[in-house]
Every structure is written in C-alpha cells, then in structure tokens.
Structure 1
Amino acid sequence: MLQIASEFPLLSCEQCARAMMQWLTANQIQGKISKLKTKRRGEAFISSDRFDPNQSITENGTHYGVEVLGQVFDNLSTVGLTRQDWLQDFHCPSESFTIEEIDFT
C-alpha cells in the first residue's frame, strides 16, 4: 500500500484508491474505499493537516482513501492512519463532510 501511495501526486486520490483496490483484490485482501465529500454544493476546497492549510488537496470537494486492516491509506502520505485520525485530518470552510464507504474483496 505504501509503495502504491507514493506513486500518486496531489490531486490523484481517485486514481490512487483504484490502484490500491486493484492490488488488494488481486491479493484477495478485504478492504473498503472511503469517499469523503464536502456537504455544501460548490464547496471544492479541502485541506489536510498533512499539507499547507492554504492549499486544497482536491479540485472537486471529494477525496478518496482505502481502508485495510484498520488503517486508511491515500495519496497524501505513505503512512496509514486510523479511520478516526484520517477523518479528522481534513478541513473545508463549512467543516461539514459526508463519508461513503464501499466494501470490496
């Protein structure tokens, strides 16, 4: 997971999540995709505590991660975070998000 995450730059979270999902599926490892989205329509700015707070990590108000074995991975770092830490890492002007989770094997 860490090697896959390191291959995807900022603004490539969806592609990174797909690559992780494909690798996990090929290796028969269960996981889930977490889709974090701002609640307010038109609110596209999401920042991460792992980056400059004045820089958006997305262009469309949506960010993806992959949870496996209790850790969530994304393209922002090569370190997995607990689900709670991952969710608390993100901010938007309204501080209101929705989360959609999709299981896969």
Structure 2
Amino acid sequence: MTNEIALLCGMTLVTFLIRYPLLAMSDRITLSPRLLQALNYVPPAVLTAIVIPAVLVNGDSLWLDPSNPRIIGALAALGIGLWQKNLLLTILIGMGTFLLWQGIGGA
C-alpha cells in the first residue's frame, strides 16, 4: 500500500513540475497569431487519433463490416453531429445506435 501511495505522490509531483512553469509564465509569453490558429487544430487531431482506432480496430485487425456496432454508432453520431450541431444529442444518438446495433448483432 505504501508503494502505491509513494508512486502516486511521485507521479503527481512530476506532473506538477513539468506543467506549472509554463502556466506560471503564461502571462509573459506571447504566441503569434499564426501559432494560435494552428493550435486550434490540436483538439480535433487528438480526438481523431483516439476515436478512429477505437472504432475500427478489434484486437490486432481492422473490423470494417456492418456487424461492427462501433462503426454504425460512429456513423450515426457523425450524421447527427453534422446535421444538428448538438453535442448532447450526438452523444445520445451515437451511444443509442451503438447499443441497439450491439443488441441486435449480439456482439
């Protein structure tokens, strides 16, 4: 138990020490408008890098057929998101479609 607590405290300290200096100096750092514009693309890029493998990969192989409930749910969420531009509705429809398709397919 004490090893886990020491490990947790160490990870907390390391995380704090690598992030705090930049946050403390943030009022003195001025980023160019071009860099700020480029940083707007970071969240979608990271989200895409997380979601695409979670939807398309099953074990060590691609799962690209209609029996994959993750693809069906993702496509439903994509369609609702582009159509309605409502985050909560997109999540609900995507998860609902995924669960329904999973129940139908028995996956």
- Indicate the structure (1 or 2) with the bigger Cα radius of gyration: 2
TM-score by structure 1 length? 0.20
Larger helix share, 1 or 2: 2
TM-score by structure 2 length? 0.20
Larger strand share, 1 or 2: 1
